[in-house]
Every structure is written in C-alpha cells, then in structure tokens.
C-alpha cells in the first residue's frame, strides 16, 4: 500500500513539475511578446490582395520577435479616415495607413499627422532600396523627387483578355489589339463568332477613359503641364477633339452591344473573373482576383491608343495607393515601422507581393527576382511591367489637381450620362469639366 501511495506522490510531483515548466514557458513567451514593439497598419485592401497582405504580416511576426504588426481592415477610405481622426484624439492611432492617390500628395504630406517617408527613412534607411518607379514619376513624390509615402500598392490601368474566348473567335492571343480601332475589330469577332454576351467591360472608368487617354496619346490631362508647373494658375481639364472622338466611339460600342458594363469601382472585375466578359480594362491590382479564379486563362496588354494622335503609345499614369507614416509616435515605434517596411522591401517578399497582386514591383531587385514562369503564364505581362521602369515623357509623369477626390465622382457621372444616352458626349464632358473647375478652386 505504501508503495502505491509513493508512486502516486511521484506522479503528482511529476505532473506539478510539468505544469510549472509549461507555465514558465508561457510566461517567457508572454514576456517576449510584451517586450516587442507594437505597431498598427490600417488598410482598405479587399479579396485576395487583403489575404496576401495578412499572410505576409503573419510571416513577418513569426520570423522575428522585435516588432509585432497588427492589421486593421476598413471597408472604405472614408471609414478609415473617420476612424483615424477619432484615434488621433484618443492618442492610439495607427503607424501606417493606406491612402488612395488623390493627386495632391504634397498636400497630404503637409498635414500635421503625416510623417513624410523620406524623413522616416533618413533616420532609419532601407538598405539597398533601389526603387522600381523613376523619381520623375509624381506618384508618392513631391516636386523635388522626395518619397512621401511607401508605394506598396502602385498600379497602372491595363487591358485583360480571355485567352479561350480569343481562340474561339479566331483571334491570336499573342497579338492583342494595340489601337482602339483594332480592338473594335476584335470585339466584333468576339460578339459574332465567339458569341460573347459581354465583349468589353471596364472598371475604373475615369482612369481608363479620361485620365489615361491623355498620356497614352502624348497629351496632357490638364493645363499647366498636368498641374506640375507651380508658377501658373490652377490647372483645368482639357477635353479636346481626342476626348470627343473617344467618348463617341464608346457610345457607339454601347449601342451595338460591344461594350456592356462600366463602373467607376471594381464591379466589372467580377464579370471577367467569372469568364462572362471577354475583354476588361481595369487597374493592374485586379490580377490577384483573376489568379484565384478557377479555369480562367487570360493575357494582359497595355491600354489601346489612337495611332492618328501619336505613332507610338505613351505610358499611363502610375496611381493606386500607398502606405503613409503617421506622426506623433515614440521613436521606438518609428524605428519598428521602418524595420517592417525594410522587410517588405526584401526582393523575395516584394516580388511575391507583385506576382500575387498585380501591383507594380517595389524595387528593381523585386522585378529581377520575379519568377519568369509567372510572366510566361500571362502573355504581355513582362514587357508591360518592364516598360514602367523607363523615364516617363512629361505628359506621363502624373498630374496634380486640387480636390480631385471630389472631382472624380463628377467625371464618372458625366461618363455615365454619355454612355447611357442621356447627354451628348461633348456636352457631358463640358459640363463635367465646368463643375471640376469650380471644385478645384474651392479651399
């Protein structure tokens, strides 16, 4: 009996020891977590791009113990900005926020809550950061070429096309249309031969059919050198005969059922992902959604241009969104924020982000690190991305316009009125330009 009692005591002591050791281990983990610097990143990514960012942050937190990154997702930019104001008052705001390009980055950078990226990186440099986009690009840069925000979600408008439907229509998938006139011929075959109910659709209609119509055809979008000439009056939109021709063509496509769906947001992307539409113009950041679409085979090409306006197409504006650093945090958090950005800048990490999302490569090293097989799956992709490394023409550097976030909905409404037959194309453009001028002059 005594033997049984002693063995029971031994077991009890062993169990107690194991519990004690487990508790000690958990305490150590808790202490390590408590010792790490906590930073917050707020964003509005959705779908596969959101999932990819979450995966990368989880990987970062797992790889090291010095910094703990917490993500917070918002459904819209308006919701994010509203919460950011409230958090400022409560002094518990984020360290990085995703902000869409408003075409006035200098104004954003001057806000008291913003820490310009060049100031943060001057204190905590990112080693060997040879940025992919030229310093002459106005996206996330000021007039002196200084980096104002981290260009993590930079994108360009592109044309995606369904390879299976091209083959069914007797078209060569390796030779997508380069001009709008050629695209019309392709769409007729897609409608009549491939029997597509949606030959062409567009998302981000203002970007595709107004903003980028100018640089692709060698013109400026606004007066005063796209608003980049600071020595003159406020810029105004320049809707000339090129715009009249283009919008009239789009209206004719709508009437003949070549052009069936258009949206200012990304709504039309889902139709292409399901295989319902043959050709789609949208932002390159839609790539993640299409890569996750089952049985969808697609190519990617530059937006078409008018060869009557220019012998060769220009490059589009770089836009999208970026991560902006927030002022007012302890030095330890600023350093931790820079450490996180440095990790995102690693060639393998940045290349993975580029390949999974369609956003432009962050650095030259990220572009070189991208797998050749990735580009081989999508005809035209590598050449399209590589072209963005070149110095843009003056018309393609970007544009500046005050209050553009309020102007864009007005332009979208003008497009809707013309495409839906409620207002003649030129009248719709002139009305929108007049309203835009008044909004741009407001303080």
pTM over 0.85: yes
**Tally of domains within the chain:** 2
Rounded to an integer, what distance in angstroms lies between the CA atom of residue 164 and that of residue 54?
Answer: 33
**Cα–Cα distance list, 36 to 123, 217, 274, 336 (Å):** 20, 52, 44, 9
Q: Residue 412: how many CA atoms within 13 Å on its side-chain side?
A: 16
Mark whether 99 and 204 lie in a shared domain: no
Domain annotation covers residue 55: yes
**Cα–Cα distance list, 58 to 11, 64, 257, 358 (Å):** 39, 11, 46, 21
Mark whether 74 and 165 lie in a shared domain: no
Domain annotation covers residue 14: no
Task: Name the residue among 385, 379, 380, 334 with its Cα closest to residue 363.
Answer: 385
Rounded to an integer, what distance in angstroms lies between the CA atom of residue 52 and that of residue 118?
Answer: 26
CATH code, domain carrying 52: 3.40.190.10
Pairing mode, strands 319-326 and 96-100: antiparallel
Mark whether 277 and 134 lie in a shared domain: no
Question: 209: domain range?
Answer: 157-316+399-441
Mark whether 212 and 179 lie in a shared domain: yes
Here the tokens at position 399 are: 């544009």
Mark whether 176 and 85 lie in a shared domain: no
Backbone angles phi, psi at 348, to 5 degrees: -65, -40
Rounded to an integer, what distance in angstroms lies between the CA atom of residue 252 and that of residue 246?
Answer: 10
Mark whether 223 and 115 lie in a shared domain: no
Mark whether 109 and 217 lie in a shared domain: no
Rounded to an integer, what distance in angstroms lies between the CA atom of residue 204 and that of residue 265?
Answer: 5
Here the tokens at position 390 are: 């070149």
Mark whether 286 and 421 lie in a shared domain: yes
The residue count of the chain comes to 443
Token pair 């010095």 in the structure block, residue: 66
Determine what percent of the chain falls in helix, strand and coil, rounding each to the nearest 5: 50, 15, 35
Domain annotation covers residue 375: no
Rounded to 5°, angle at Cα 253 from 251 and 255: 70
**Cα–Cα distance list, 272 to 174, 175, 212, 402 (Å):** 19, 19, 21, 34
Mark whether 275 and 179 lie in a shared domain: yes
Domain annotation covers residue 279: yes
pLDDT of residue 410: 98
Token pair 């992919």 in the structure block, residue: 132
Domain annotation covers residue 1: no
Domain annotation covers residue 256: yes
Beta bridge pairs of residue 281: 159, 202
Task: Count other C-beta atoms under 10 Å from residue 312's C-beta.
Answer: 8
Which three-class secondary structure string do you get for 119-176?
A: HHHHHCCCCCCCECCCCCCCCCECCCCCECCEEEEEECEEEEEEHHHHHHCCCCCCCC
Decide: helix, strand or coil at residue 423.
Answer: coil
Beta bridge pairs of residue 69: 39
Rounded to an integer, what distance in angstroms lies between the CA atom of residue 150 and that of residue 361?
Answer: 12
Domain annotation covers residue 215: yes
How does pLDDT run along the chain (443 residues), one tens digit per residue?
333 333 443 444 344 444 444 444 444 444 445 589 999 999 999 999 999 999 999 999 999 999 999 999 999 999 999 999 888 877 789 999 999 998 888 889 888 899 999 999 999 999 878 898 877 678 899 988 899 999 999 999 999 999 999 999 999 999 999 999 999 999 999 999 999 999 999 999 999 999 999 999 999 999 988 988 876 678 899 899 999 999 999 999 999 999 999 999 999 999 999 999 999 999 999 999 999 998 999 999 999 999 999 999 999 999 999 999 999 999 999 999 999 999 999 999 999 999 999 999 999 999 999 887 788 878 888 888 988 888 888 888 899 999 999 999 999 999 999 999 999 999 999 999 999 999 999 98
Domain annotation covers residue 25: no
Mark whether 72 and 186 lie in a shared domain: no
Mark whether 303 and 216 lie in a shared domain: yes
Mark whether 286 and 161 lie in a shared domain: yes
Rounded to an integer, what distance in angstroms lies between the CA atom of residue 301 and that of residue 297?
Answer: 14
């Amino acid at each position: 009996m005594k033997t049984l009692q002693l063995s029971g005591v031994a077991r009890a002591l062993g169990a107690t020891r194991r519990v004690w050791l487990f508790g000690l281990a958990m305490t150590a983990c808790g202490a390590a977590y408590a010792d790490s610097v906590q930073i917050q990143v707020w964003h509005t990514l959705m779908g596969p791009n959101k999932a990819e960012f979450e995966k990368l942050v989880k990987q970062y937190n797992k790889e090291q113990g010095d910094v703990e990154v917490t993500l917070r997702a918002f459904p819209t930019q308006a919701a994010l900005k509203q919460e950011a104001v409230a958090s400022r008052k409560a002094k518990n705001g984020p360290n990085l926020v995703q902000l869409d390009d408003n075409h006035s980055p200098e104004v954003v950078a001057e806000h008291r809550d913003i820490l310009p990226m060049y100031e943060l990186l001057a204190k905590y440099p990112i080693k060997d950061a040879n940025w992919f986009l030229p310093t002459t690009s106005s996206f996330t840069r000021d007039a002196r070429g200084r980096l104002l925000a981290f260009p993590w979600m930079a994108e360009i408008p592109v044309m995606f096309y369904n390879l299976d439907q091209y083959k069914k229509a007797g078209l060569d998938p390796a030779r997508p249309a380069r001009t709008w006139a050629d695209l019309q011929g392709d769409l007729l075959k897609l409608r009549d031969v491939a029997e597509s109910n949606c030959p062409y659709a567009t998302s981000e209609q203002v970007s595709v059919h107004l903003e980028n119509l100018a640089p692709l055809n060698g013109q400026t979008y606004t007066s005063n050198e796209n608003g980049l000439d600071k020595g003159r009056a406020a810029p105004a939109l320049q809707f000339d005969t090129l715009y009249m021709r283009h919008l009239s063509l789009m209206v004719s496509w709508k009437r003949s059922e070549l052009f069936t769906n258009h949206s200012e947001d990304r709504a039309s992307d889902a139709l292409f992902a399901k295989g319902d539409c043959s050709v789609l113009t949208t932002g390159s950041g839609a790539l993640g959604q299409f890569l996750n679409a089952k049985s969808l085979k697609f190519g990617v090409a530059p937006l078409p241009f008018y060869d009557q306006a220019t012998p060769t197409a220009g490059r589009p504006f770089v836009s999208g969104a970026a991560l902006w650093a927030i002022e007012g945090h302890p030095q330890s958090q600023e350093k931790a924020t820079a450490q996180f950005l440095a990790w995102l800048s690693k060639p393998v990490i940045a290349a993975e982000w580029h390949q999974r999302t369609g956003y432009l490569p962050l650095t030259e090293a990220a572009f070189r690190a991208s797998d050749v097989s990735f580009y081989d799956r999508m005809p035209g992709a590598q050449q399209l991305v590589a072209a963005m490394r070149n110095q843009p023409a003056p018309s393609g550097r970007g544009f500046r316009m005050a209050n553009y976030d309020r102007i864009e909905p007005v332009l979208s409404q003008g497009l809707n009125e013309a495409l839906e037959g409620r207002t003649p194309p030129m009248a719709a453009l002139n009305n929108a330009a007049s309203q835009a001028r008044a909004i741009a002059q407001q303080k």
